[in-house]
């Protein structure tokens, strides 16, 4: 009888909510497969997720070390507390030279094996995971550095969430709340988190296998039939076991894959056609993006190789790699190199190479990845003569509206994508999801849904997003309403509907939609925050305060809510406004709106400090330049004020207030003609801008053009501002009009 038959019945217990899907505690595998289980735990996949105390990164040895990130002017420290808990601490230096904007977050989990990098995570009371900014890299003698995407002044701090898509490839399947099989589900994790990619990611759910092994008299073939052995799968299905995580066409702004509607985020099982779970997309061939080399693109690069394309499925990842073990020690590494050479020579003779020639070193060289600049990896695009080898670190690439790819998004895998109505719909969605091909994509998606209406709500939500991004809120409203007819209790759709309704000039309907959303999801802080914001914009102050306070009671770390509370307090000249703005900045030091609001309350020297920081973080933020210019004008520092106002206009040429104030500054420097041009520019943008009419009237009156001055004064007296109105009235009386 197989020894598995003596396993105690408690081994059937699975982890968290995975029981119903047949997943079990992976430690059960060790009972029968102890050698493989033991070596697998030492692989990168086996160590992909861990507790901080279990990682080889000796955080304790870094006590006292401070990492300074110049771009964001932030300092980071790793700490081990007396209770052996781990923390990442962040702070800045304030106006008076003391530490400010201090954040201390516990490190609950670690993502990454440490073969290349590790990212530290904090779990919130709501069950979400936050990425902490400072990471660890193995390259060289190992070093600390900012996580990918963080090497910038306005990085997201600890507010970047670990999505289900992230977790899919970095860990075993976790326990999650029931029902996140539609778009917009918050990535919440429940129960104990798995620690590392386990056997079941490649072999499928282990429950049936364990039960079969425990059955009295079970035969080996019966036991084997209850588990997936990738080696026995057809070549395409076998390769897809690896492709599920190692085929990312790009991590930059493009929907590299689209999950099919109705599929849970962790519902793929080895042996299933991967295309039944998701479809991969890529840049169009003519876009010139074909040579991208990114950290999760090993299979993408391999598939470009003639060796792979001509092998008819024979060349697999496992041709070279043993997923159950990795070479350790110099002798083992050399043995692995010889193994790789032997694999190559199954098809390629040595030719002019020496017998010791390392095929991989020349034809698959290590390169620095485009998207994670502190990591270098083997390039799996096998070529006779690689075009270049790039190992020097380069500045991190940050895509903007101006630099992001704009063009057709094409199906990549499976290739060819079967021509079905469903696949045509997903291809249209890929055009608009990240706005790569928005204008033609929204028309295509709209036409498809008009010709073949869907019973599912998700396509209509995506269409609504596309219409909103295309600045057509009225059409977005209709699309969101179509989604809600198919699922009336879908709170994310209600929130999006509210945003579109407000943009379409329907604030009452928007408030009603948000009120329904908070009724459906009363524990969602973001829904309450959005309700508070629309109340604020509609002048319903008491309602706004109540909704914002509710949001902050559910999640005290919503900087936008603190900023809005500060705005309300400042309107009433309440001194607590400063504390609200400072708390918003403490949570998100990159939050330039809150910094600008805070600066407007402070004494001049302290205000200059905050304005300069805001502009350093986001040089294109026009309101900071405008408010700073206004303050400098009041301080009679006219040349500096002019510089700020010109920068404001460069950032936003349509800001009438900036043109008017620049005119005032120019006039005070004796440049009346230029000032008049700015006043006129302000009036072209806002014909009812009373203060600009008054400014023009003063200039024209000095030039003797009384009739012209009177014309503008009669517009100025319509002002709702008493000071402007009184000045215009007085000047008309002076002119006898």
Instruction: Give the separation between CA 517 and CA 523, rounded to whole angstroms.
Output: 11
pLDDT 10s digits, 634-662: 999 999 999 999 999 999 999 999 999 99
Contact 634, 650 (CB under 8 A): no
Q: Measure the CA dihedral 372/378/384/388, to 10°.
A: 30
pLDDT computed for residue 319 by the predictor:
93
Percent of the chain surpassing pLDDT 70: 94
Residue 677 pLDDT exceeds 90: yes
Q: Would you say 572 and 57 are in contact if contact means Cβ atoms under 8 Å apart?
A: no
Secondary structure of 614-634 in HEC code, one letter for each residue? HHHHCCCCHHHHHHHHHHHHH
User: Has residue 386 got a pLDDT over 90?
Assistant: no
Neighbours of 381 (CB within 10 A): 24
pLDDT > 60? residue 382 = yes
- At 546, phi and psi to the nearest 5? -60, -45
- By CB atoms closer than 10 A (0-12, 13-18, 19+), residue 401 is exposed
- Residue 180's pLDDT is what? 59
Residue 354: predicted pLDDT: 62
CA dihedral 626, 631, 636, 639 (to 10 degrees): -30
pLDDT at 55: 62
Residue range 268-294: average pLDDT? 96
Q: Rg of the chain over CA atoms, in angstroms? A: 31
What pLDDT was estimated at residue 17?
A: 44
Cβ atoms of 389 and 367 within 8 Å: the answer is: yes
Write down the pLDDT at residue 62.
60
State the pLDDT at residue 54: 65
CA-to-CA distance for 482 and 456, rounded, in angstroms? 10
Separation between Cα atoms, residue 651 and residue 339, nearest integer Å? 58
Using an 8 Å Cβ cutoff, are 223 and 4 in contact? yes
pLDDT tens digits, 67-107: 999 999 999 999 988 898 999 999 999 999 999 999 999 99
Q: Which of 357-366, 506-515, 581-590, 699-708 shows the lowest mean pLDDT across its residues?
A: 357-366
pLDDT over threshold 90, residue 714:
yes
| The pLDDT value given to residue 361 | 83
DSSP string, 671-716: -HHHHHHHHHHHHHH-TT-HHHHHHHHHHHHHTT-HHHHHHHHHHH
Characterize 704-717 residue by residue with b for buried, 16 or more Cβ atoms within 10 angstroms of its Cβ, and e for exposed: eeeeebbebbebbb
Residues 6+ apart with CB under 8 A from 181: 262, 263, 264, 265, 267
Please give the Cα distance from 228 to 234 (Å, whole number). Answer: 12
Burial 589-613 (b: 16+ CB within 10 A, else e): bbbbbbbbbbbbbbeeeebbbbbeb
Would the pLDDT of 13 be above 80? no
Is pLDDT at 11 greater than 50 in this prediction?
A: no
Average pLDDT score, the chain: 92
Number of helices (H), then strands (E), in the chain? 30, 15
How does pLDDT run across 607-625, given as a tens digit for each residue?
A: 999 999 999 999 999 999 9
């Amino acid at each position: 009888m197989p020894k598995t038959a003596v396993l105690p019945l408690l081994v059937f217990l699975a982890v968290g909510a995975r029981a119903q899907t047949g997943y079990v505690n992976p430690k059960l595998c060790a009972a029968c497969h102890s050698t493989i289980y033991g070596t697998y735990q030492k692989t990168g996949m086996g160590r992909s997720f861990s507790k901080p105390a279990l990682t080889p990164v000796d955080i304790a040895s870094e006590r006292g070390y401070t990492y300074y990130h110049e771009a964001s002017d932030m300092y980071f420290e790793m700490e081990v507390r007396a209770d052996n808990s781990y923390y990442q601490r962040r702070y800045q230096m304030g106006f008076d030279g003391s530490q400010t904007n201090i954040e201390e977050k516990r490190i609950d989990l670690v993502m990454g094996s440490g073969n290349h990098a590790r990212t530290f995570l904090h779990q919130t009371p709501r069950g979400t995971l936050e990425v902490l900014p400072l990471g660890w890299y193995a390259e060289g003698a190992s070093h600390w550095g900012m996580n990918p995407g963080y090497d910038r002044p306005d990085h997201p701090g600890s507010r970047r969430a670990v999505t289900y898509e992230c977790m899919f490839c970095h860990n075993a399947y976790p326990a999650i709340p029931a029902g996140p099989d539609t778009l917009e589900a918050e990535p919440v994790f429940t129960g104990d988190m798995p620690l590392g990619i386990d056997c079941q990611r490649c072999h499928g759910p282990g429950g049936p296998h364990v039960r079969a092994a425990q059955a009295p008299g079970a035969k080996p073939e019966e036991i084997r039939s209850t588990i997936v052995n990738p080696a026995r799968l057809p070549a395409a299905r076998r390769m897809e076991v690896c492709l599920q995580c190692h085929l990312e066409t790009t991590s930059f702004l493009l929907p590299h894959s689209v999950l099919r509607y109705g599929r849970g985020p962790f519902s793929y099982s080895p042996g299933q056609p991967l295309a039944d779970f998701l479809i991969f997309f890529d840049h169009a061939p003519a876009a010139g993006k074909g040579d991208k080399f990114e950290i999760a693109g090993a299979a993408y690069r391999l598939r470009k190789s003639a060796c792979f394309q001509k092998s008819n499925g024979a060349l697999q990842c496992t041709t070279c790699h043993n997923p159950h073990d990795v070479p350790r020690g110099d002798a083992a590494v050399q043995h692995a190199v010889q193994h790789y050479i032997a694999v190559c020579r199954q098809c390629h003779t040595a030719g002019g190479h020496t017998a010791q020639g390392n095929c991989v070193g020349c034809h698959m060289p290590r390169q620095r990845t485009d998207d994670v600049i502190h990591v270098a990896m083997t390039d799996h695009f096998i070529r006779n003569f690689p075009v270049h080898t790039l190992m020097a670190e380069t500045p991190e690439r940050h895509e903007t509206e101006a630099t992001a790819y704009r063009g057709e998004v094409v199906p990549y895998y499976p290739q060819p994508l079967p021509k079905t109505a469903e696949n045509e719909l997903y291809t249209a969605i890929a055009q608009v999801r990240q706005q790569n091909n928005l204008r033609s994509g929204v028309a295509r998606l709209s036409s498809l849904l008009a010709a073949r209406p869907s019973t599912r709500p998700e396509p209509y939500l995506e269409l609504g997003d596309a219409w909103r991004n295309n600045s057509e809120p009225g059409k977005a409203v209709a699309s969101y309403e179509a989604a809600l007819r198919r699922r009336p209790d879908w709170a994310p759709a209600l929130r999006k509907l509210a945003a579109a309704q407000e943009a379409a000039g329907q604030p009452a309907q928007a408030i009603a939609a948000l009120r329904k959303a908070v009724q459906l999801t009363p524990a969602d802080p973001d829904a309450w925050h959005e309700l508070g914001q629309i109340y604020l914009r509609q002048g319903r102050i008491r309602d706004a305060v109540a909704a914002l306070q509710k949001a902050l009671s559910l999640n005290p770390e919503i900087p936008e809510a603190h900023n809005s509370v500060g705005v309300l307090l400042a309107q009433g000249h309440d001194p607590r406004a400063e504390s609200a703005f400072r708390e918003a900045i403490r949570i998100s030091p990159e939050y330039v709106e809150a910094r600008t609001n805070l600066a407007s309350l402070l004494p001049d020297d302290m205000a200059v400090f905050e304005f300069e920081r805001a502009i350093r973080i986001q040089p294109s933020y026009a309101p900071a330049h405008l408010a700073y210019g206004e303050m400098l004008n009041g301080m009679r520092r006219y040349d500096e004020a002019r510089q700020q106002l010109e920068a404001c206009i460069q950032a936003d040429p349509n800001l009438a207030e900036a043109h008017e104030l620049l005119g005032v500054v120019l006039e005070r420097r004796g440049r009346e003609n230029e000032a008049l041009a700015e006043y006129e520019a302000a009036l072209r943008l806002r014909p009812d801008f009373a203060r600009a009419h008054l400014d023009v009237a003063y200039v024209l009156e000095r030039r003797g053009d009384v009739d012209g001055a009177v014309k503008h004064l009669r517009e100025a007296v319509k002002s709702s501002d008493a000071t402007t109105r009184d000045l215009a009235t007085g000047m008309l009386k002076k002119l006898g009009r």
